[in-house]
Structure formats: C-alpha cells, structure tokens
Amino acid sequence: MTVAAARPGQEAAVRELTYAQALNEALREEMARDPRVFVMGEDVAIWGGGGVFGVTKGLVDEFGPERVRDTPISEEGITGMAVGAAVTGMRPVLEIMYVDFTAMAMDAIVNQAAKLRYMFGGRAKVPMVLRAQEGAGRGNAAQHSQSLEAWFCHIPGLKVVTPSTPYDAKGLLKTAIRDDNPVIFLEHKVLYFTKGPVPAGEYTIPFGVADVKREGTDCTVVGIHTMVHKALQAAEELAQEGISVEVIDPRTLVPLDVETLARSVRKTHRLVVTHEAYERCGVGAEIAMAVMREAFDFLDAPVERVCGKNVPIPYAEPLERAALPQKEDLVAAVKRTLGRA
C-alpha cells in the first residue's frame, strides 16, 4: 500500500465510507487525475443516476456525458467498444450490471482484451477495467446471483480483483485503472452498503498482496468477498472455544499472493478455503493446490473447501441460504481440520 504523506504533525484523515462510496471516490479521483479515464455502461450516467447500485452517482454532473456514457443494453457492444478505446490510448472503466451478463461479452473479454498485448508482442496495451457485480444474498435468483471469478482466472492475460472492504475497494480500483492490462474488477453486491474506514489521502494497493484480516495460530481460513466477513465471525465464535483462526483475504486472485498464504499455513498447519462460487472447478481448488505446492509438508490435516453448492442459485430465501456457505459451515470445517468434528 502507498499512502500520501500527511503534513508534519498531522495524520491523514480516516472516514467511514460505504463500499459503494469508496468506489465512487476512486473513480472521481482517477478521472480528475487522468483525462483519458472515462466510464461507460448501462444506466451509469443520466438515466440511471449512478448505476443500479449508485457507484457512479454524480460523476456525469462533474465530468459530463462525454466521459460518463450511458450505453445501449448490449454487453458485447459495451465491452468491444472498451477494448477498442483502450487499444487506441484511452483508459475505459466499463460497468457490466451483473457478472452473469458477461456471458454475452466473452469473445471481447477472452479473445480480444486478454490476448491483444501478447499477440502484438507487447506493443499494444489494453488498459481497461471491467467492473461487475457478483454474488448472492439478495434474492436475485439464478441469472443475477452467480460468482464467476473462476471464469476469468482461467484466462491468461486478465487480472482478477475481489475486494471485500471499502478500504480495499478504493485502493485496488485506483490501481486497476492505472494498470496497462485488462482488469476484471468484481464487486459483491451485498457489500455495497457495508461501511469501513477509508483514508482521505491518496493511496493505492498493489496487486498480488494478500491481507491478513485476523491473526491466528490453529487454522488458516482464506476467504473471498462476503466469506471474509463470515470467516471473521466464525473466528470470533471459535475463539470462545480456545481455537485461534487466522483469516486471510487474497484481495486479488490473479496475481495471487501464494507466499502469504503458504507462510500462514506453515504456522497454523491447517487450511480452509471458502467462496460463494460453485465448489466444482472454483478458485478454491486452485488456491488449495498452490498452497500445497509450497507448504504440503506442514499440513497436519486435509485442506477443506467451504463453497457454494453446485446448483443454480435459488430465489426463495431459505433455499438461497442453503445453497450458500454460512458461518456455521466454516466453524464445522475448522473443527474437522483439528479433529474436533
């Protein structure tokens, strides 16, 4: 992390912002800093008043409709235009309303954005950020609730970011906008109105640096998005039984900070990986394998995965909850690694 220095005798002010406000502030600061940065997407400007979750609220009033552009309802068109703009020198930040809708834009993402720099021997840059909302928990049903980070992690040439707090959201989005490569920036919709401390000063967070959200000695839990918060709740509960859990948020899945994860496992000798996405072929399996390559001899129990069920996300609240991993599932998984199930 880099933070602008405060004046002598003063510390940078820290405010409580929502996740959405932190993202909005990052966009505003980067648009003011670099005239090449512009925002585009469905209902992000005049018609939507800042997108479905208000992340781009007020930007069109400050920067005008040339730099905050409402687009037709065409994910393929939006993404294709962003790729072209990026290759020709702009720095677009496009919003896809729900990550489920990236299915309509996969050619532009996978075959164009991800590959152009490689195919042109590094002479072509694609400095674009694709923001999308993912995750369940709001009763949005099967076509608006998926967590699809594994799709993008599979493709060389894409960077994948999954912030879980307002602080991380702002710092990582600023880094993403300044990157010369395509970045898939995934925001969990349940987190938009959660609050947390965000410094008023300039700061960025480098990619590939995980954050230890809670230190512990008995088991490492690596979580993504909402599962970071559920892991912290589980750690609190387990602490009442004398079990010390270390909770780590990778923050970026590509690049992945394997060393921080492995270092933790060398200390705790146990690993639980958790995410809302479907368990089958999820990034939890990749994280588990990457850590085992570096710290297999230190593991005292098999790696546990606590993930979403391999079913479409249901609409009904009781069924949706049953399909998603919960705090209780994490508590049980940690106890299994300790032989206390």
The DSSP annotation for 22-60 comes to: HHHHHHHHHHHH-TTEEEEETTSSTTTSSSTTSTTTTHH
- My answer on whether 228 and 291 are in the same domain is yes
- My answer on whether 195 and 236 are in the same domain is no
Q: What is the pLDDT of residues 198-237, one digit of tens each?
A: 999 899 999 999 999 999 999 999 999 999 999 999 999 9
Q: Determine the pLDDT at residue 91.
A: 98
Show the low-confidence residues of the chain (pLDDT under 50).
Answer: 1-10
Q: Is residue 207 within 8 Å of 252, Cβ to Cβ? A: yes
Q: Assess if residue 267 is contained within a domain.
A: yes
Q: How many Å apart are CA 202 and CA 192, to the nearest integer? A: 21
Domain coverage including residue 196: 15-204
Domain final position from 173, 204, 235: 204
Q: Assess if residue 30 is contained within a domain.
A: yes
- My answer on whether 100 and 217 are in the same domain is no
Structure tokens at 131: 């923001």
Domain final position from 204, 220, 251: 204
Q: What is the pLDDT of residues 21-60, one digit of tens each?
A: 999 999 999 999 999 999 999 999 986 667 778 899 999 9
Give catalytic status of residue 144 as yes or no: yes
From the candidates 30, 75, 149, 187, give the one annotated as an active-site residue: 75
Find the CATH number of the domain harbouring 195: 3.40.50.970
Q: Assess if residue 27 is contained within a domain.
A: yes
Domain final position from 179, 204, 229: 204
> Quick one: residue 320, left, alpha or beta (phi over 0 = left, psi -120 to 50 = alpha)?
alpha
Q: Can you state the percent helix, strand and coil of the chain, rounding each to 5? A: 40, 20, 40
From the candidates 30, 144, 225, 246, give the one annotated as an active-site residue: 144
Interior/surface letters 211-235, b for 16+ CB within 10 angstroms, e for the rest: bebbebebbbbbbbbbbbbbbbebb
Q: Determine the pLDDT at residue 6.
A: 39
Q: Determine the pLDDT at residue 12.
A: 64
Q: Is the peptide bond before 255 cis (omega within 30 degrees of 0)?
A: yes
Q: Please, which residues bridge with residue 159 across strands? A: 183
- My answer on whether 313 and 174 are in the same domain is no
Q: For the chain, give the longest Cα–Cα distance.
A: 60
Give catalytic status of residue 229 as yes or no: no
Q: How many domains does the chain have?
A: 2
Q: Is residue 154 within 8 Å of 6, Cβ to Cβ? A: no
